[in-house]
Structure 1
Amino acid sequence: MLEFKILEKERINEIIPLVYKLNQKEIPFDVLEERFSEMVGQNYECAVMIINDLIIGVCGLWYCTRHYSGKSVEPDHVFIEDAFRGKGYGKQFFDWIYAYVSEKGYEAIELNTYVSNHKSHKFYFNEDFKILGYHFLKWL
């Protein structure tokens, strides 16, 4: 049975194997553990998709208020295990996320996706997301 929920903060390490795959194993596992340990104390929640007690999908949710979009949430590190892709689960997951954040009073969703992740671009366009700008990063 397919289930969507917010993962309890003390269980955050359970999603690290999925995020490790998402980042193509470029960020060391122990670094991810350290970062997620810090993230759970910020304006962050982690939504998960579960089948038969197995986490098969993950989506971080960052909450803030921005001058141009009001109360907004940013889905982050969205990942669904390969064996469960192409079955409509991503759409169901995002429909659940839309309802969940709407109930919390949020009025906009904005996100970043890797330039090379063409499948995600197609998915987000199909979900009526529009390109608003570019995301820049500078390492210090």
Structure 2
Amino acid sequence: MAYTFKILDQDYIKQIVPLVKKLNADKISEDLLRTRITEMFSQNYECAGVFNEDELIGVCGLWFCTRHYSGRSVEPDHVFIEEAYRGNGLGHQFFSWIYQYVREKGYESIELNTYVNNYASHKFYYNQGFKILGYHFLKKL
């Protein structure tokens, strides 16, 4: 099956939000997700999408920055592919496309966070060559 990968603009928010909502196990309302993602588009953020024909079946946010320890860096965020499309190499294809895209933009490293209990993602990122460098901490104010 031939998939299409592309950067999505804000016109796709209505399609992005339901996928991100599935990733967050319905812990965040669609309205709040829509508000946050709209705001994210005004920051150093882009959203990559995977299409099967005209259907958006996967998303990956990309945060762009420069870090003292890794240089020009991209952080994939809220990576999600519809369950029916998993297990057939689509994630590998998607990340290969992302690697090429961010290299062409002049970025030199990728770092990411993944939920502690998301074991399938841990295996995927290990297989992609990622190494664990530390822990991610969060404190709500």
The CA deviation at 1:12 is 2.3
Q: Is the 8 A contact 1:13 1:36 kept in 2?
A: no
Answer yes or no: is the 8 Å Cα contact 1:5–1:48 preserved in 2.
Answer: yes
**Equivalent residue of 1:27, what SS?**
coil
The offset of 1:52, in angstroms, is: 1.3
| Aligned residue number for residue 82 of structure 1 | 83
Q: CA deviation at 1:8?
A: 1.7
Deviation at 1:14, TM superposition (A): 1.4
Q: Which runs of 5+ in 2 are unaligned?
A: none
Alignment partners' CA distance in 2, 1:75 and 1:64:
12
Aligned equivalent of 1:30: 31
CA deviations on 1:106-136 (whole Å, 9 max, x unpaired) are 0000000000000000000000000011000
The secondary structure found in structure 1 opposite 2:100 is helix
The aligned counterpart of 1:48 is 49
- DSSP 3-state at the match of 1:73: strand
Q: What code does the residue aligned with 1:46 have? A: C
Shift of 1:13: 2.7
Q: What's the counterpart of residue 106 of structure 2?
A: 105
SS of residue matched to 1:121: helix
Q: What SS does structure 2 have at the residue aligned with 1:94?
A: helix
1:104 maps to amino acid: K
Q: Which runs of 5+ in 1 are unaligned?
A: none
Query: Are the aligned partners of 1:65 and 1:72 in contact in 2 as well (CA < 8 Å)?
Result: yes
TM (norm. structure 1) is: 0.98
CA distance in 1, matches of 2:71, 2:16: 29
Equivalent-residue separation in structure 2 for 1:51 and 1:11 (angstroms): 15
Q: Where does residue 93 of structure 1 map in the other structure?
A: 94
Aligned-pair CA distance for 1:88: 0.3
Judge which range, 69-78 or 4-13, deviates more. 4-13
Return the offset for 1:22: 0.3
Q: Aligned-pair RMSD on alpha carbons?
A: 0.7
TM-score norm. by structure 2 comes to: 0.98
- Mapping 1:106-121, distance limit 5 Å: 106-121=107-122
Percent of pairs with identical residues: 66
Number of paired residues?
A: 140
- In 2: Cα distance, 1:3 partner to 1:10 partner: 17
Task: Find the counterpart in structure 2 of residue 57 from structure 1.
Answer: 58
**Structure 1 consecutive aligned stretches of length 4 or more whose deviation exceeds 3 Å:** none
